[in-house]
Amino acid sequence: MVVPLNTWVLISNFKLAYNLLRRPDGSFNRHLAEFLDRKVLANANPVDGVFSFDVIIDRGTSVYSRIYRPVNAEEPQPSIVDLEKPLSADIVPVIIFFHGGSFAHSSANSAIYDTLCRRLVVNCEAVVVSVNYRRAPENRYPCAYEDGWTALKWVNSRPWLQSKKDSKVHIYMAGDSSGGNIVHHVAVKAVESGIEVLGNILLNPMFAGEKRTESEKRLDGKYFVTIQDRDWYWRAFLPEGEDRDHPACNPFGPNGKSLEGIKFPKSLVVVAGLDLLQDWQMAYAEGLEKAGQKVKLLYLKQATIGFYLLPNNNHFYTVMDEISSFVSSDR
Amino acid sequence: MKRDHQEARGGGGGGGGGGIGKGESSSMATGKGKMWEEEQQQDASGMDELLAVLGYKVRNSDMADVAQKLEQLEMFIDTAQEDGISQLSCGTVHYNPSDISGWLENMLSELNVPPNNGNFDPSCVVLNEQMIQAASSTINFSNSRPNSDQRPPPPPPTPRVLFEDDLSAIPGGALYPQRDSSESQQGENNSRKRMKTSTGSNSSALLSSPLSSSSSAEIRVAGATAAESTRPVVVVDSQETGVRLVHTLMACAEAVQQDNLKLADALVKHIGVLAASQAGAMRKVATYFAEALARRIYRFSPQDSIDSSYFDILQMHFYETCPYLKFAHFTANQAILEAFAGASRVHVIDFGLKQGMQWPALMQALALRPGGPPAFRLTGIGPPQPDNTDALREVGWKLAQLAETIGVEFEFRGFVTNSLADLEPAMLEIRPAEVEAVAVNSVFELHRLLARPGAIEKVLSSIKAMRPKIMTIVEQEANHNGPVFVDRFNEALHYYSNLFDSLEGCGLSPPSQDVVMSEMYLGHQICNVVACEGPERVERHETLGQWRERMSAAGFDPVHLGSNAFKQASMLLALFAGGDGYRVEENSGCLMLGWHTRPLIATSAWQLAAGAGAGAGDSQ
């Protein structure tokens, strides 16, 4: 189990910063969090084949999304008026992305996620819409899910995001950590409301339950993450007084809703073998399977959390390839 | 991740920890196994490229050392637990998080001072006062705003638990040198009492966090970033008509550039039609840009030469309506205050005094300094008045009155000049650095110098001759000075669209007079950017990246603004309606205020480069 040195530095740096931000009384040092977070601007000038711009998708909540588009071969330098120009290819997957951060950290314009989204665009030849959902503890459940839902409706209703082939938006959803959790819940809402989502991609998704699983106990504190900090984030996100068997964190738990018989999107669930949440993540995949849903589980034995933030390990490339195939199956 | 304490102790190391080479030698000199592999990802300047993309500057050669520091801090947190954490998160002032090594070093050096040494740092009082002043404009500074002095200061935000925690953490260092901290033995109670009496409100000191010293470790990162060409676009209005309006505006600019005046004229008229059917910010922006285009097409003398005092009034309304100027003053004052620590005589040279709105807050803050205020000298610079009144002297007089009421020894001098480049340092009677600390302050003034060749160089050189302890610069965060008209036009269109949109956010319907006049203030700028050329085009805004290069080349080093300034600026914003959209961002030691994700103004602070003689010399 060897982690590249710069990965270790990156994730330990985050871990240290995050330790400073969580207060024992459940409050969060938001000012210091925003000060420390490294952000990048959107850039309508293409860089390595990708350009981006921000759109405010809900004035009332100030929620914006950052849109990433691949550059068109015929138009290497899009002008400002071309930002919302219709897609030119027959089929273009549109991936709605929900960044991680355990519901409390990071933003759509955080450098780590801006970089990840750009890589997704290039690898998948897709448009990526990264949602800047509202965060805990200031905004608890269900705000993040509501913002995800708002984004889904927004994407679905953009004529310029439609694929030429069938004049429909080919929607996928992806997210890491809390983002993965959001993907699940927005997908449930999508099914209930009749919006078609073609696939869900969950990277190290954040799930939990009251019981302590074997992997949590075994890996507690070993690879950047502790049970204690996970508990803190759930207390910050869930409605006050709720426990971890709430369906938000435990969708297949005692209070969960059955997904049997509904047309849930196919799922790609990526689990890192050194992530203490893996038992919950695998239980999630199992839960989907039992409900008759299509799921592919990708278990990366030697991976820690955050492996997908730096392209300096095999897992990164494995996952990128899987995601690319996953969103291209109807091309 | 505990690196491998368990594995080493456990000897067996099977199970979850298996696979860690215990026998491997490690450059970490701990003798324990490595959890990582060295990777070679170097770029030309020895920086780790992958981390650089993520916003972190770490030299490859420093990577192992950085890892070690991370471990040290991890161990500290493990042992000290909550007390340790709260010391680092509340007591410590953080700087420039992109420089991980410096950030960690800063925290480690904080920890060398025993916590709980009983000193509540009263400098938080100073900043608290400043912030209240900034937010409330209780000093009646202009006769044209009759009600301003009747307005009570806005109540501070409802105290929440988190502020209490902040205050209960006793910071490690102190902002002031040892002799001052011994004077603050009374600590907490005194400063709270002091605040109560002076503000007259019942905010019990809950608006700020304790500061600690931390002169920043000025690690010069190799390889200056070139001014990147980035087009940050925030789309606020995706409606059909809005898009068509933008298209038409840009097409018109294109026509103007190609000297196709007939087409340009037709398009300007069409813009008028389209704009009329728009609402809100987009209509106003389009109208101002169309007017500016028309002036350019017909070569009208660019603007009725409105006299500068009228312009000052417009700026005051802008000051009231939205937080940009307040942010500018607040953050600049913060840097000046910190630079003036320990000085008994101080001299501020304000490159654009106008109505002097920046100074009451600073003076109040100085008045509340532990150990008493320094003697405060202000040199205010301004343009000649058409009616020959001495506007500067009037402002100086009002400030003198304020100084008297708050007990600050005050001296004022005004300098009238058409251009900063005409100033000679000798005129300003600078006193030696040991006698008097000098701060040079420029809010939205420097860019005007770019209209005359050689002017900025001359001014920067004059500033160096003044040997300032600090120079504060606030500028619009935009490139409105490119050589190609169409590019400039497009940049400005997006910039002012965002700016007007933010005014919309804090407006009422119908918009108050403040808002209307703020829009005129901005409209004036738009006209200058679009319709003027040559020496008349003074609104030559440039980005932080560009100013950094210029300052660096001229022999200045950055002085970093830290997490305390960031926090207080953020809290200041929360006092404004429409606060949701405003965002403060830290950028390598500078602070920027933006609307949603688009930074609109940037505050930076500078000192003479090490080796250039006098200066803070805080590099470690």
- Global ipTM: 0.95
- SS3 call for B384: coil
Q: Which two tokens stand for residue A80?
A: 């400002």
CB atoms B580 and A44 under 8 Å: no
CB atoms B563 and A16 under 8 Å: no
Residue B344 pLDDT level (bands cut at 50, 70, 90): very high
Residue B511 pLDDT level (bands cut at 50, 70, 90): low
HEC assignment per residue over chain A: CCEEHHHHHHHHHHHHHHHHHECCCCCECHHHHHHHCCECCCCCCCECCEEEEEEEEECCCCEEEEEEEECECCECCCCHHHCCCCCCCCCCEEEEEECCCCCCCCCCCEHHHHHHHHHHHHHHCCEEEEECCCCCCCCCCCHHHHHHHHHHHHHHCCHHHCECCCCECEEEEEEECHHHHHHHHHHHHHHHHCCCCCEEEEECCCCCCCCCCHHHHHHCCCCCCCHHHHHHHHHHHCCCCCCCCCCCCCCCCCCCCCCCCCCCCEEEEEEECCCCCHHHHHHHHHHHHHCCCCEEEEEECCCCCCHHHCCCCHHHHHHHHHHHHHHHCCC
Question: Quick check: A127 and A92 in contact, CB under 8 A?
Answer: yes
Cα of B582 to nearest chain A Cα, Å: 10
| Residue among B71, B72, B43, B73 nearest B58 (CA) | B43
CB atoms B35 and A1 under 8 Å: yes
Amino acid of residue B428:
L
| Average pLDDT over every residue of B235-264 | 86
Question: Quick check: B470 and B439 in contact, CB under 8 A?
Answer: yes
Question: Quick check: B347 and B432 in contact, CB under 8 A?
Answer: no
B 52-81: CB under 8 A from A: 53-56, 58, 63-64, 66-67, 70-71, 73-74, 77
- Nearest CB to A42 within list B18, B100, B232: B232
Q: Which two tokens stand for residue B378?
A: 């202000």
CA–CA gap between residue A126 and residue A37 (Å, rounded): 27
| Average pLDDT over every residue of A154-165 | 95
Residues in Cβ contact with B522 at an 8 Å cutoff, skipping those fewer than 6 apart: B288, B318, B496, B499, B500, B503
Please list every residue in chain A whose beta carbon sits closer than 8 Å to the beta carbon of residue B585.
34, 39
- Nearest CB to B97 within list A38, A223, A311: A38
- Nearest CB to A42 within list B17, B55, B233: B233
CA–CA gap between residue A187 and residue A182 (Å, rounded): 8
Q: What is the pLDDT of residue B386?
A: 78
Cα of B452 to nearest chain A Cα, Å: 30
Rounded to 5°, angle at Cα B304 from B302 and B308 = 110
Q: What is the pLDDT of residue B26?
A: 35
Q: Could you tell me if B236 lies within 8 Å of chain A, comparing CB atoms?
A: yes
Question: Does the pTM exceed 0.95?
Answer: no
Instruction: Using CA coordinates, name the residue in chain B closest to A276.
Output: B16
Amino acid of residue B329:
H
* Range among B25-39, B189-203, B573-587 rated most confident: B573-587
CB atoms A20 and B233 under 8 Å: no
Residue A101 has pLDDT above 90, yes or no: yes
CA–CA gap between residue A233 and residue A221 (Å, rounded): 16
End-to-end CA distance of chain A: 37
Q: Which two tokens stand for residue B54?
A: 């993520």
Residue B157 has pLDDT above 90, yes or no: no
- Nearest CB to B233 within list A29, A83, A311: A83
- Nearest CB to B41 within list A6, A80, A112: A6
CA–CA gap between residue B552 and residue A112 (Å, rounded): 29
Q: Which two tokens stand for residue B266?
A: 């037709």
| Residue among B434, B404, B265 nearest B344 (CA) | B434
Q: Which two tokens stand for residue A266?
A: 């196919």
pLDDT digits (tens, 9 = 90+) for A237-268: 999 999 999 999 999 999 999 999 999 999 99
Residue B212 has pLDDT above 60, yes or no: no
Q: What is the pLDDT of residue B77?
A: 87
Residue B500 pLDDT level (bands cut at 50, 70, 90): very high
Q: What is the pLDDT of residue A22?
A: 96
Neighbours of B231 (CB within 10 A): 20
CB atoms A224 and B599 under 8 Å: no
Instruction: Using CA coordinates, name the residue in chain A closest to B38.
Output: A5
Cα of A256 to nearest chain B Cα, Å: 31
Q: What is the pLDDT of residue B578?
A: 57
CB atoms A64 and B234 under 8 Å: yes
Which of the residues A163, A177, A178, A215 is marked catalytic?
A: A177
CB atoms B597 and A12 under 8 Å: no
Instruction: Using CA coordinates, name the residue in chain B closest to A309.
Output: B54
Residue B216 pLDDT level (bands cut at 50, 70, 90): very low
Least confident of A268-272, B159-163, B536-540: B159-163
| Average pLDDT over every residue of B475-485 | 96
pLDDT digits (tens, 9 = 90+) for B272-298: 999 988 888 889 999 999 999 999 998
CB atoms B597 and A64 under 8 Å: yes
Q: What is the pLDDT of residue B132?
A: 53
Q: What is the pLDDT of residue B423?
A: 92
CB atoms A39 and B55 under 8 Å: yes
Question: Quick check: B591 and B519 in contact, CB under 8 A?
Answer: no
| Phi, psi (degrees; rounded to nearest 5) at B582 | -75, 140
pLDDT digits (tens, 9 = 90+) for B105-136: 999 998 875 444 444 343 444 445 555 554 44
Q: Which two tokens stand for residue A54?
A: 């921000």
Residue B203 pLDDT level (bands cut at 50, 70, 90): very low
Q: What is the pLDDT of residue B180?
A: 33
Q: Which two tokens stand for residue B316?
A: 């005051």
Q: Could you tell me if B41 lies within 8 Å of chain A, comparing CB atoms?
A: yes
Q: What is the pLDDT of residue B452?
A: 95
- Nearest CB to A53 within list B17, B34, B235: B235
Question: Quick check: B144 and B184 in contact, CB under 8 A?
Answer: no
Query: Helix H segments across B340-390?
Result: 359-367
Residue B547 has pLDDT above 70, yes or no: yes
CA–CA gap between residue B425 and residue A146 (Å, rounded): 60
pLDDT digits (tens, 9 = 90+) for B360-407: 999 999 999 998 999 999 999 999 887 777 889 999 999 999 999 999
Task: Indicate which of B36, B484, B487, B563 best probes the interface with A, i.e. most A CBs within 10 Å of its own CB.
Answer: B36
Cα of A204 to nearest chain B Cα, Å: 17
DSSP secondary-structure letter at B115?
S
Rounded to 5°, angle at Cα B25 from B23 and B28 = 125
Amino acid of residue B466:
M
CA–CA gap between residue B353 and residue B349 (Å, rounded): 9
B 249-288: CB under 8 A from A: 250
Question: Quick check: B174 and B119 in contact, CB under 8 A?
Answer: yes
Residue B495 has pLDDT above 50, yes or no: yes
Q: What is the pLDDT of residue B19?
A: 33
Q: What is the pLDDT of residue B172?
A: 25
Neighbours of B31 (CB within 10 A): 9
Residue A258: active-site member? no
CB atoms B232 and A311 under 8 Å: no
pLDDT digits (tens, 9 = 90+) for A174-226: 999 999 999 999 999 999 999 999 999 999 999 999 999 999 999 999 999 99
Least confident of B68-72, B596-600, B607-611: B607-611
